[in-house]
């Protein structure tokens, strides 16, 4: 049954006009509420319930992508961050839904949003609250369809993933999510890992050119990517045996203070 639905949805057309995102989310929520869902305890990295639901949503993204994955707003709802969920429904969100497959994993960059005071939670560095942030939502799954370990499973965390923005013209060893005061929260839903990665606002570097990298490492690994010091271009290392996804991110924003992201 599911495979038939997959085939139908994969062939679904993409509408050229984008309706209100809140309408899309309302349709999704109403269908999901019709399914029986397990409760989960509030944790920093909560264990999410298994949901099997058919989602039909009208929008500029394909019907298949909307059915297959939670939206960034829904992921934020799972971690009980209403302000961030609303931010992912705003006009400032960049909806991407691009997938790459490397090794045994499929990586999907779902969406990005940046701005001030977008979360219900406080992030501080050296006792200084960091209000101006970027939030990145990615989905990570097994290519063969086997579920990823739940957050309560003993196998959870055995394989590390590193999700980070990278900046064209900036050495990624020096400019990555760690140096940008970053962190992340994860849930596992329907066998798929959803990660919300956050760091200082990367809009400051919009004019440089931006990437989002996802690798099967704990930190940035220079063996997974190459950096051309002359051109500033970052590329995947084609000889790397593992996950080294790299997405180009376009932000239509003019920046004035590119050094602020590391302050």
Report the distance separating Cα 261 and Cα 234, nearest Å.
19
Instruction: Evaluate if residue 156 carries a pLDDT over 90.
Output: yes
- DSSP string for 12-68: ----SS---HHHHHHHHHHHHHTS--------SS--PPP--------SSS-HHHHHH
**10 pLDDT band (50/70/90 cuts)?**
very low
What is residue 21's predicted lDDT score, i.e. its pLDDT? 52
**88 pLDDT band (50/70/90 cuts)?**
very high
Report the distance separating Cα 106 and Cα 103, nearest Å.
8
Instruction: Evaluate if residue 122 carries a pLDDT over 80.
Output: yes
Q: For 87-101, what is the mean pLDDT?
A: 97
Question: What number of CA atoms fall less than 13 Å from residue 199's CA on the CB side?
Answer: 25
Please provide the average confidence, as pLDDT, over all residues in the chain. Answer: 80
Instruction: Evaluate if residue 55 carries a pLDDT over 80.
Output: no
What is residue 37's predicted lDDT score, i.e. its pLDDT? 38
CA angle 56-88-185, nearest 5°? 105
């Amino acid at each position: 049954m599911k495979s038939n639905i997959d085939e139908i949805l994969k062939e679904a057309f993409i509408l050229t006009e984008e309706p209100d995102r809140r309408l899309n989310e309302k349709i999704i929520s109403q269908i999901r509420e019709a399914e029986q869902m397990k409760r989960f305890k509030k944790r920093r990295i909560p264990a999410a319930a298994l949901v099997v639901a058919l989602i039909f949503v009208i929008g500029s993204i394909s019907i298949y992508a909307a059915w297959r994955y939670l939206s960034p707003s829904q992921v934020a709802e799972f971690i009980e961050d209403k302000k961030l969920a609303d931010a992912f429904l705003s006009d400032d969100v960049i909806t991407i839904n691009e997938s790459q497959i490397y090794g045994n994993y499929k990586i999907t960059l779902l969406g990005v949003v940046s701005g001030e005071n977008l979360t219900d939670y406080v992030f501080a560095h050296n006792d200084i609250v960091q209000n101006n942030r970027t939030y990145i939502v990615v989905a990570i799954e097994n290519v063969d369809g086997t579920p990823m370990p739940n957050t309560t499973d003993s196998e959870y965390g055995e394989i590390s993933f590193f999700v980070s923005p990278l900046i064209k013209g900036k050495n990624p060893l020096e400019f990555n999510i760690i140096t940008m005061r970053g962190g992340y929260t994860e849930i596992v839903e329907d066998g798929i890992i959803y990660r919300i990665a956050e760091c200082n606002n990367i809009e400051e570097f919009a004019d440089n050119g931006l990437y989002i990298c996802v690798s099967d490492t704990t930190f940035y690994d220079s063996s997974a990517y190459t950096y051309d010091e002359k051109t500033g271009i970052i590329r995947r290392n084609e000889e790397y045996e593992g996950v080294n996804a790299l997405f180009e991110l376009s932000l239509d924003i003019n920046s004035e203070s590119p050094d602020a992201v590391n302050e």
